[in-house]
C-alpha cells in the first residue's frame, strides 16, 4: 500500500490556558500565607497597584476594586453577590461571639484604643533552641582541631529532627570532595587506629551498588573501597576511593558527637541509639546491653522467654533488663520540637452558630490586604496621547494585570465561601454533634452542588482551614470515603478510624484488642460491619502498632 502526504482542514475546539487563566487557577490552591506573599510581591512588581483597607472592610464607592472588566474564570457560573457584600450582610447578624474567644478575637480586638498597635503574635513568641544549635554549641566546646570541627559541623547538619544521622559516612565523604581530600591527606600523614572499623559504616543504604575491599598491589598501601559497576548498562560516575582510615576518622568524630546531649543523638539506627545510651550509663557489660546488641528482633516481639534461654539467664533478670531498655529514649531529638509561629493555623473561613441557632459561614478577610488601582496612574494614563506612547501602553498593561489579579482573588474568596456553604449543607450533623455524625462525602457531590468542576473543589480545599464549633479543620477533612453497610447506608471511614482509636486508647494494656476483636466490637456496639483487614489498614494509617507490639508485659 503506497504512502502519500495530504493536506486536510479540520474544525476542532480546545481550551487554551492563557497566562491569566493559569494565574487564576494557581490562586485557588494557594494557602493563606502564600496568598499574602503573592500580594506583597505584586505590590512590589506592579507600580499601579496599591494597598487599601483590609478585604473585610466595606470599601468606599469611589474606589476601583475587583473591576468587572476583568474576565471571569471559564469554569465558574455567573457570579453572585460579591464576597464583600456577603461580609457586609453577615456583619448585621446576631453572632454568638463567645465562640471566637478560643481563637483570640478579631484583629481590632487585639489593638489598643489609640493608634499604637500591640506586637503581632509572632513577635511575642520565645525563640526555642533547635537541636542543631544545641549540638553546634557543644561541638564548639570540644577540643577539636579544624578538620575534626569541619567534619563535626557536616555531621550535625545531617542529623534529623528525631536525633538520628540521616546519611552514611560514604555520603558524607562523597558530598564534599574538598573535605574528602583534606581527610585523605590527613590520614596519609598521621596514623589512625582502625581496630574498631565496621564495614557497615561505609554504606548501608546503597542498593544498586556494591562496596568491596580490594587488596592493594603494594603491601605498604592500605586497602581501599571501590564502587563496583552496576549489572545494568547504565553509566556510572568515576568510582571514589575511600580508605579505611578515612572512614575511621569520620566515625571517630561521630562517636564524639554521640557523647553529646541529648543521649543517643547521632545514632544511625534504633539499636545504635539504645547502645549509646547504655554506654553513657556505664552499662556496657550489663545484660540489657547484650540483649539490645544481639536480640533486637526478639525484643521487638517481646519474646522474653526466648531471650532468657539464649542468654542463659533467669526470666526475672531479663524482665528487669527489659524495663531498663523501655525507659530509654528512642527519639533523642524529641525534646527539641519546633514551636515556631508557622505552626499556628489562621482559618480562611468561619462556621459559627448565631443566637437564633442557625449556622452561618463568613470569610476571614483580616490580614489580607485589599488591592486597588492607583488613582494617580488612572488619571495619568487618561491624559496621555494615544499614538506610539510606550509609557501609556506599559501603564495600561499593568492596570489590566492588576485588575485581573484583583478579580482572581475575589473569585478565590467567593469559591471558598461557596464550597464551605456546601460542606455545611452536607455535614450539618457533624457541626452540631461531632465526628460520629460525619457522613461520606466526595468532591463530586460538592462540585455538582455549586456547579463547578471537581478540580476546582480539590484546589480550593487544599491548605484552607475552617474554624468550627468542633474545632479547626482543613476543608479536605470533610471529604471522606464510606463503607457500605447494606440498604444503601454507608459509614464514614474517618468515623470508623476515630472509633478504632478510641477503642485502643481505652483497651487493657496487658490484653490489647486484636484487629478481629475490634471488628467484632464495632459490629456489636455500633452495628458497623467492617472486615478485619480494613481494621488493620485503618490502624496502620493511624500509626498504631499491632496488638502483639502494644501489649505491656507488666
Residue 113 pLDDT class (50, 70, 90 cuts): very low
Residue carrying C-alpha cell 456496639: 525
Residue 337 pLDDT class (50, 70, 90 cuts): low
325 close to 277: Cβ distance less than 8 angstroms: no
Give exposure, 381-413, as e/b (b: 16+ Cβ within 10 Å). beeeeeeeeeebeebeebbebbbbbbbbbbbbb
Name the pTM for this structure: 0.58
Calculate the average pLDDT of the chain: 78
Least confident range of 199-213, 251-265, 279-293, 348-362: 199-213
Torsion sign over Cα 413, 416, 418, 424: negative
Residue 544 pLDDT class (50, 70, 90 cuts): very high
Can the peptide bond before residue 377 be classed as cis, meaning omega within 30 degrees of 0?
A: no
* Per-residue pLDDT reduced to its tens digit, 255-306: 999 999 999 999 999 999 999 999 999 999 999 999 999 999 998 888 899 9
Task: Return the C-alpha torsion angle 402, 405, 406, 408, nearest 10.
Answer: 160
Query: How far is it, in rounded angstroms, from Cα 221 to Cα 93?
Result: 86
Torsion sign over Cα 42, 43, 45, 49: positive
Whether 391 has a pLDDT exceeding 90, the answer reads no
Q: If we measure between CA atoms, which residue out of 136, 202, 147 comes closest to residue 178?
A: 147
Strand, helix or coil at 233? coil
Strand, helix or coil at 29? helix
469 close to 347: Cβ distance less than 8 angstroms: no
Alpha-carbon Rg for the chain, nearest whole angstrom, is 32
Instruction: State residue 87's pLDDT score.
Output: 46
Q: Where are the alpha helices (DSSP H) in 223-374?
A: 244-257, 270-280, 287-294, 296-301, 304-311, 315-326
- Mean pLDDT, residues 334-349: 72
Instruction: State residue 120's pLDDT score.
Output: 54
Residue 142, all three cell numbers:
570540644
Query: How far is it, in rounded angstroms, from Cα 521 to Cα 515?
Result: 10
User: Maximum CA pair distance of the chain?
Assistant: 100
193 close to 255: Cβ distance less than 8 angstroms: no
Give the Cβ contact number of residue 98 at 10 Å.
Answer: 8
Q: Cα angle vertex 407, ends 404, 411, to 5°?
A: 135
CATH architecture of 482-554: Orthogonal Bundle (1.10)
Least confident range of 365-379, 479-493, 497-511, 525-539: 479-493
Whether 222 has a pLDDT exceeding 50, the answer reads no
* Per-residue pLDDT reduced to its tens digit, 409-435: 999 999 999 999 999 999 999 999 888
- Mean pLDDT, residues 164-172: 90
488 close to 371: Cβ distance less than 8 angstroms: no
- Mean pLDDT, residues 452-474: 92
- Mean pLDDT, residues 339-350: 72
Query: How far is it, in rounded angstroms, from Cα 28 to Cα 35?
Result: 9
Instruction: State residue 202's pLDDT score.
Output: 58
CA 298 to chain centre: 34
- Mean pLDDT, residues 538-545: 92
Amino acid at each position: 500500500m503506497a504512502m502519500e502526504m495530504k493536506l486536510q482542514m479540520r474544525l476542532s475546539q480546545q481550551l487554551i490556558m492563557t497566562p491569566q487563566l493559569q494565574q487564576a487557577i494557581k490562586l485557588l490552591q494557594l494557602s493563606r500565607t502564600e496568598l499574602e506573599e503573592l500580594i506583597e510581591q505584586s505590590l512590589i512588581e506592579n507600580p499601579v497597584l496599591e494597598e487599601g483597607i483590609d478585604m473585610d472592610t466595606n470599601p468606599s464607592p469611589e474606589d476601583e476594586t475587583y473591576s468587572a472588566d476583568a474576565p471571569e474564570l471559564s469554569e465558574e457560573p455567573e457570579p453572585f453577590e460579591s464576597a464583600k457584600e456577603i461580609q457586609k450582610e453577615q456583619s448585621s447578624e446576631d453572632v454568638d461571639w463567645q465562640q471566637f474567644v478560643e481563637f483570640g478575637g478579631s484583629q481590632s480586638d487585639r489593638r489598643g484604643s489609640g493608634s499604637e498597635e500591640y506586637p503581632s503574635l509572632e513577635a511575642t513568641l520565645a525563640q526555642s533552641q533547635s537541636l542543631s544549635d544545641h549540638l553546634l554549641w557543644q561541638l564548639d566546646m570540644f577540643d577539636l582541631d579544624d578538620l575534626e570541627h569541619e567534619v563535626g559541623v557536616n555531621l550535625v547538619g545531617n542529623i534529623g529532627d528525631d536525633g538520628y544521622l540521616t546519611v552514611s559516612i560514604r555520603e558524607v565523604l562523597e558530598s564534599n570532595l574538598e573535605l574528602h581530600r583534606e581527610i585523605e591527606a590527613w590520614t596519609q600523614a598521621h596514623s589512625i587506629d582502625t581496630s574498631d572499623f565496621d564495614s557497615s559504616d561505609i554504606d548501608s543504604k546503597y542498593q544498586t551498588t556494591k562496596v568491596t575491599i580490594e587488596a592493594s598491589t603494594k603491601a605498604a598501601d592500605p586497602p581501599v573501597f571501590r564502587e563496583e559497576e552496576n549489572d545494568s548498562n547504565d553509566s556510572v560516575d568515576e568510582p571514589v576511593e575511600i580508605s579505611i582510615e578515612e572512614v575511621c576518622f569520620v566515625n571517630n568524630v561521630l562517636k564524639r558527637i554521640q557523647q553529646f546531649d541529648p543521649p543517643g543523638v547521632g545514632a544511625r539506627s534504633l539499636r545504635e541509639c539504645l547502645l549509646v545510651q547504655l554506654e553513657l550509663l556505664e552499662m556496657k557489660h550489663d545484660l540489657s546491653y547484650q540483649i539490645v546488641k544481639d536480640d533486637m528482633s526478639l525484643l521487638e516481639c517481646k519474646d522474653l522467654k526466648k531471650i532468657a534461654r539464649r542468654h542463659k539467664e533467669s526470666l526475672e533478670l531479663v524482665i528487669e533488663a527489659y524495663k531498663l531498655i523501655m525507659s530509654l529514649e528512642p527519639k533523642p531529638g524529641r525534646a527539641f520540637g519546633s514551636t515556631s509561629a508557622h505552626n499556628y493555623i489562621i482559618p480562611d473561613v468561619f462556621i459559627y452558630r448565631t443566637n437564633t441557632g442557625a449556622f452561618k459561614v463568613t470569610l476571614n478577610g483580616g490580614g489580607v490586604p485589599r488591592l486597588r488601582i492607583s488613582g494617580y496612574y488612572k488619571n495619568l494614563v487618561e491624559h496621555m496621547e494615544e499614538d506610539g506612547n510606550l509609557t501609556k501602553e506599559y501603564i495600561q498593561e499593568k492596570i489590566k494585570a492588576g485588575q485581573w489579579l484583583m478579580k482572581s482573588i475575589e473569585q478565590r474568596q467567593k469559591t471558598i465561601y461557596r464550597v464551605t456553604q456546601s460542606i455545611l449543607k452536607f455535614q450539618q450533623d457533624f457541626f452540631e454533634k461531632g465526628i460520629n455524625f460525619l457522613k461520606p462525602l466526595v468532591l463530586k457531590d460538592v462540585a455538582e452542588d455549586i456547579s463547578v468542576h471537581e478540580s476546582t473543589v480539590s484546589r480550593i480545599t487544599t491548605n484552607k482551614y475552617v474554624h468550627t464549633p468542633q474545632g479547626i479543620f482543613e476543608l479536605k477533612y470533610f471529604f471522606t470515603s464510606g463503607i457500605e453497610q447494606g440498604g444503601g447506608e454507608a459509614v464514614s471511614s474517618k468515623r470508623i478510624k476515630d472509633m478504632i482509636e478510641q477503642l485502643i486508647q481505652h483497651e487493657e494494656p496487658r490484653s490489647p484488642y486484636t484487629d478481629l476483636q475490634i471488628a467484632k466490637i464495632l459490629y456489636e456496639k455500633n452495628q458497623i460491619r467492617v472486615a478485619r483487614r480494613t481494621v488493620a489498614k485503618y490502624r496502620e494509617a493511624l500509626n498504631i502498632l499491632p496488638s502483639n507490639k502494644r501489649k505491656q508485659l507488666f
